[in-house]
Structures are given as C-alpha cells and as structure tokens.
Amino acid sequence: MRDLASRLRHIVRQDREAQANAPRELTYVAPDFPSTGGGHAAERVAEALNGSVHAVGDSACAVFEHAWDSTDWHGRRSIGSYAPEADQPIALFDTRVAALPEWARRVVFFDVETTGLSGGAGMLAFLAGCGWFEDGGFRVRQFLLGSASGERALLAGLASIFDEASLVVTFNGRTFDVPLMETRWAFHRTSSPTDDLPHFDMLPPARRLWGRRNDLGSRFVASHSETTPEVVSCSLTSLERSVLGFHRVGDVPGVEIPLRYFQFLRTGDAGLIEDVLEHNRLDLLSTAAVMARALGLAQEGPEACRDEREQLGLGRLYERAGDRDRAVRAYELAARETNDDRQVRRHALARLAAILRQEARFDEAADAWHGVLALAESQAEAGTLERRAVEALAIHHEHRARDLASARRYAQRLRSAATGRARIDADHRLGRIDRKLKKDAGSLF
C-alpha cells in the first residue's frame, strides 16, 4: 500500500487532469474593465461618475465626494441642525461614549455595501462610505472597488479618515459593518484603525425609541416578566419615513445592490453603480439625522415627543438609565386618556405601575394597574399585562389596603386563567385569603 503522501499526490493529479479536460466556462470580461487591471477599472468608473482615483502601490480604487449645505433639507429639518454637540446627553444611550470628553469633536458616520450577507473571508465590502459634518454641512467620501485588487487602497483610504475621528457611528455596524472591515484589515495583515476608536451603534437606541411592536393590539404570548412586546422591525428606511419625514424616490432596493455590482464587473456599465452610491449616501445622512433626533429627545424630554409611542420609548430609556423621575413623566404623558393608541397606554401604565411600586407609592401603583385592566378589550382577551395587573392588585388589597374581599375577587380571577404551577400558587393565595377572612369573621363574635 502506498504511503499517505503518494495517495494525496495521486488524488491531486487526478483532479488537475479532470479540470483540464472539463469544458471551459465562457465568461465575458469587458475590455475596459479587465479583472486583472484594478487601476484601469478604477480610472474608468471614476471618470464616468465624476470621481477620482486613490492608489496605494499597485492597488487603486475610485473615490467620490459629495456635500450637502447646512441649509439643505432632509426630512423635516435642515441638515445643519443634525450636527451632534458635546453637551447632548448621549449617556442615555451609551455611557461609554459619554465618558469621552471629546466624543463630538469629529463624529464619522460609516456604512458599507457588500457582495453578500453570508459573511466569511470571501465577502467584500465593494463600497465604503464615510460622512461627517464640516462647516455646518454634511460631507460624504465613498471608496469603490473597480475590482478586488483595489481593496488595499480602499482600506488605506478608510484608515486615513478613521485616524482623525473621535467617534464612529453606524446603524447595525457593531454586528456587521465594523467586524467585516476588521476581518478585511486582518486579511491584508494590517492593523485595524477601529480597534481603539469608540463606536456608537444607533440601531439599539432606535429600537427602544421607535421599534415597531408585534403584539400592540393583540394578545401577549411573552414571558410573565415582560411588560413590553418584542421588536419586529426598525429599518433605517422606515425610520426615515416615520421619524424624519423623508421618503426616498427611485431608491435601489438593498437586496439588488450585490447583483448590480456583479453586473458592473461583467459589463463595465458605471450607470449600474450610480444609484448604489446615492443609496449609500442617503444611509449615512439618515443615520446622522436619526441620531440627532434621538439626542434631541433625550435633551428636551418627553414633552418634545411627537406622539405617545415616542414617549413610551423615551420612558424605557430613562428607566434603563435609572432616571425614574423622567421615566414617570414620560409614561404619564404616554398614558393620557387623550391619546388614541390604547395599547401604548396599556404598556405605559404597566411600566408606570412598576416604578411607583418600587418607590413605595402603592396606591398610585394600584391606580395604574386599574387603568391597565380598564383598557383591556375584554376579560377573555386579557394577556400578560392584564394578568400582571390582576396579581399586583390581589397583592395590594391583601397586604396594603387590607381589603380581603377585593383581594379574594382578584385572586379568583387570577386562578381562572392560571395553569400548572401558576394555578397551584393561585390556590395557595386563595386559601390564605379565606383563612384570613374566617379569622376576621370570628373576631366579630
């Protein structure tokens, strides 16, 4: 029997022979955009779209600059009004950033477009955009690969921007954009300029403030401890419409972007990339605008909110940060009877009741729980919030108000909807209340 090395050589030889005899795939490479001429490709696309070329050794990519004036509008506000300021309370969203004295010195907004979403070393960020406020306006610089050979130039261009940044801001970049680029820097055996650069991801705060909820208006199926439903969607384009009042016209869908890039590589048609560049620019500007709106709400308080949903989201952020007074104010505004959204009012009252209970304001907490029950469509449709309200009121009337008859009524209601361990606990509660009632009745005679 041959040794292992001989067997492996034989397998490789067979594989090479099979490849040599296999029919060749016919692939068209445009003369102006050859796969081996990265610099030539960058020059062509830069010339076609009024850009320039950035080269590092034999590696070259196309660079595009775009600027909005401070008086230009994006949604309901002028672009100049979106510039971050050092005195804005970013600590409400990220205490790590707030600890940096110069976080607002040069905030760089960052977004990439990639050849796919599967991840791995083979995925490229073929377009990387950076935006920052300058002279009151907003400037964007984008780096585009004419071919994979231009990646080293792209990474060097990004590094020069990040080296001057005091903070990088992304939208879902903590889990995608930044780790991807760090992988590419590692692939080229160069240090990542984002290693020591503070990073603020706007997606988690946006979800807490504006994220759509899957069961507002329907029954709860969440765990017993939850008082707010789960986030379903909070895309940047939906926030543009609902928060900024901005609507894109003729925007290229995100799922179509990788296909356009591959078509561009095959045909050399720079027009396929023009809409992708605009899509990336708007992503950067909208990220800056959404951040400004969030910081503005944190600074001005719940009175500045446009509706009760924003007030509910802002209250959650205040509560998470330990600012109970402002959280109570936000929840009170969201729970007002003049608000049309009954489901938002339910959640606001539930959060308000929990805080009031923690502050030993038991009667006020009971009133809030009564409000939750009053907003239920019917007892049959009661969900997790209503069950929590019933349990809290049973406890309140038994131990605080000393109204055993009311406590028993709520305990019976709790038992009727309970199963498993919860039913055993409800039976125990009812038994204890009945014993107290008998004792009180005996004391009368």
Identify which has the larger pLDDT, 11 or 102: 102
Q: Where in the chain is the domain with CATH 3.30.420.10?
A: 39-297
Query: Which CATH number among 3.30.540.10, 3.30.420.10, 3.30.230.70, 3.40.50.300 corresponds to the domain 39-297?
Result: 3.30.420.10
Three-point CA angle 46, 171, 115, nearest 5°: 45
| Tally of CB atoms within 10 A around 305 | 20
Q: What is the pLDDT of residue 40?
A: 81
Extract the runs of DSSP E, i.e. beta strands, from 44-185.
52-56, 59-68, 73-74, 77-78, 107-114, 125-134, 137-144, 167-170
Q: What per-residue string of b and e applies to 407-416 under the rule 16 or more CB within 10 Å gives b?
A: bbbbbebbbe
DSSP codes joined into one string, 203-272 = HHHHHHHH--BTTTTS---S-TT--SPPB----HHHHIIIII----SSPPPGGGHHHHHHHHHHH--THH
Please compute the mean of the pLDDT values over residues 315-323 and round it to a whole number.
Answer: 93
Q: What is the pLDDT of residue 439?
A: 84
| Tally of CB atoms within 10 A around 303 | 10
The candidate with the shortest Cα–Cα distance to 236, out of 195, 177, 183, is: 177
* pLDDT tens for each residue of 407-432: 999 999 988 888 888 889 889 999 99
Identify which has the larger pLDDT, 121 or 247: 247
Secondary structure (3-state) at 168: strand
Write the CB contacts of 310 (distance below 8 Å, at least 6 apart in sequence). 209, 210, 297, 302
Q: What percent of the chain has pLDDT over 70?
A: 83
Q: What is the pLDDT of residue 332?
A: 97
Rounded Cα–Cα distance for residues 439 and 442 (Å): 5
Rounded Cα–Cα distance for residues 129 and 116 (Å): 17
Q: What is the pLDDT of residue 132?
A: 98
Please compute the mean of the pLDDT values over residues 357-377 and round it to a whole number.
Answer: 93
Strand order in the sheet with 167-170: 52-56, 59-68, 137-144, 125-134, 107-114, 167-170, 199-201
* pTM of the predicted structure, to 2 decimals: 0.81
**Largest CA-CA distance found in the chain, in angstroms, rounded:** 107
Write the CB contacts of 31 (distance below 8 Å, at least 6 apart in sequence). none
Beta carbons of 123 and 116 less than 8 angstroms apart: yes
Report the mean per-residue pLDDT for the chain.
Answer: 86
* pLDDT tens for each residue of 213-226: 443 433 333 333 33
Q: Where in the chain is the domain with CATH 1.25.40.10?
A: 312-440
Residue with tokens 């490709």: 41
Q: What is the pLDDT of residue 233?
A: 60
Comparing 119-128, 143-152, 172-181, 423-432, the range with the smallest average pLDDT is: 119-128
For 98, which DSSP code? Answer: H
Write the CB contacts of 280 (distance below 8 Å, at least 6 apart in sequence). 111, 113, 127, 129, 142
**How many Cα atoms occupy the beta-carbon half-sphere of 26 within 13 Å?**
0
Beta carbons of 217 and 322 less than 8 angstroms apart: no
The superfamily CATH assigns to domain 312-440 is Tetratricopeptide repeat domain (1.25.40.10)
Tokens of 99: 């600890």
Tokens of 223: 């765990």
